[in-house]
Structure 1
């Protein structure tokens, strides 16, 4: 079983077709087709259903996929082991939630690059609904994210960096009745959205108007303009509260309902690059 055949198989799935895979790998489309035919002959089962211009994995293809990924990852790991020196160098891909990417990670990245300038750091957005797959496929080596304080995962190795609190905020200036009763919210996949919904339900305010916005920064700007209230991680609004630009409203939420975590796949080999990054993160846990 040749590695190039496995790589072709994976790329077809990631790219969404034989032609796109050929373009990405720099092969002729006939070569891509030949790779898959040889792999199918070796396995004794078809891996793809060809449905006109579209393709889909067969049942055998779905069964084979995790093993193909394991073999590809093992090959990559063996190369890293042979190349890797004591000094971290080369690529490191970190997935990060938007709030941390904007309000906490910049100082971590600055510290990391100061100590490990030979590492090519790539920060990518987390797909919360597909995080395990992102880590399994190697799209990212590890994730830094905000989750509930009791978060657990069977597929991931997770480490809590520090507990965090949520702050209910509003403009310090007088607002009209609509604005004082309107909640500016994140999308449902956000880890603290259910906590906010539970709080509103407990307060008997499930029918309050909601405006859903795509980012923490957009929500903050709208609160600053007096468009409504919101509930956000305290680290993302601390500076504005300290300056009096935002007003924190007392709630009866538990003190630390959320936390900052690192996560990587349970089968992931922790390279010296990743180990160095995790160490820097933990050194910043009190910052």
Structure 2
């Protein structure tokens, strides 16, 4: 069994068709087909169900996918370990929630110092980013602190205060509870905090509106569409310009810690080691 066969197997499993896998790998389709058949012959079991929509994994194929991911990850780590040098280089895929106010400073300091690193940034909510780090899709992520999976280690970045924001109309907290709740999708740590506050006040939001970006949420609040729950530092400029106003909630809901998470079992390359060092110097 060759490592390349496992790589091809994973791409076919991900894409669901030989055609798409061939495009991804820049191979001819017949080559992909013969490598999959060779792998099935070696293991003496079918790995895919063939149907008119494409290919789906058999139960045995699903088992192999789990093991092949581990094998190829270890192979990649082995290469990094023996080729490691003092100068960070290569790809670094980092995830982040949208409201990490110190992120530009951290990224700028890192990229300027380590120019051989190809750093990519992906945004999402805490729950999704945690899953992507666990599944090796991201090297690490900035998220809201919570009870993480035991396979993750976290590095504290900074603490912030979350505030309820509304437009400039005079309104009490009780009145604001009746306003539509503007938020990110499920899995957002800030949303979970405010939902807990609502629950403890025996309040059910009349309407929940989900948005994809922080900027859209802030502009929607400013024009009176509803209320939201965000870090005070993320809206300081809008408060100063009297576009929105902040309302303080009890500390049990408002104090939040942003952390950087990564898997505990992955080899700590110089690229990642220096990134963590940069976080600690610029937090």
TM range (shorter): 0.7 to 0.9
Question: What is residue 68 of structure 1 aligned with on the other side?
Answer: 68
Residue 189 of structure 1 corresponds to 187
- Confirm or deny: 8 A CA contact 1:94 1:121 kept in the other structure: yes
What is the total number of aligned residue pairs between the two structures? 281
Cα RMSD, aligned residues only: 2.6
Closer, same or farther: CA 169–128 of 1 in aligned 2, 3 Å: closer
Counterpart position of 1:43: 43
* Aligned twin of 1:254: 252
C-alpha distance in 1 between matches for 2:164 and 2:126: 23
Matches within 5 A, 1:127-206: 130-131=128-129, 134-148=132-146, 151-174=147-170, 181-206=179-204
Contact kept, 8 Å, 1:165 with 1:255, in 2: the verdict is no
1:106-128 Cα distance to aligned partner (Å, 9 max, x none): 11111111221221111123475
How far apart are residue 189 of structure 1 and its match? 2.3
Following the alignment from structure 1 to structure 2, what is the Cα–Cα distance between the partners of residues 167 and 108? 24
Q: Deviations over 1:104-160 (max 9, x none)?
A: 311111111122122111112347555455335543211122244xx2212322233
| TM-aligned CA deviation for residue 180 of structure 1 | 7.1
Instruction: Name the structure 2 match of 1:275.
Output: 273
- Return the offset for 1:80: 2.1
Distance (Å, rounded) in 2 between the aligned partners of 1:268 and 1:187: 29
Q: In the superposition, relative to structure 1, how do residues 209 and 131 fare at CA in structure 2: closer, same or farther (>3 Å)?
A: closer
For 1:187 and 1:238, locate their aligned partners in 2 and report how far apart those are by CA, in whole Å: 24
Which shows bigger deviation, 132-141 or 82-91?
A: 132-141
CA distance in 2, matches of 1:240, 1:84: 46
Q: What residue number does 1:88 align with?
A: 88
The corresponding residue for 1:226 is: 224
When residues 125 and 230 of structure 1 are mapped into structure 2, their CA distance, relative to the original with a 3 A threshold, is closer
Query: Could you say if the C-alpha distance between residues 158 and 44 of structure 1 is closer, same or farther in structure 2, counting changes exceeding 3 Å?
Result: farther
* Poorly superposed stretches of 4+, deviation over 6 Å: 177-180
Cα distance, 1:128–1:181 mapped onto 2, change above 3 Å: closer
What is the TM-score with the length of structure 2 in the denominator? 0.88
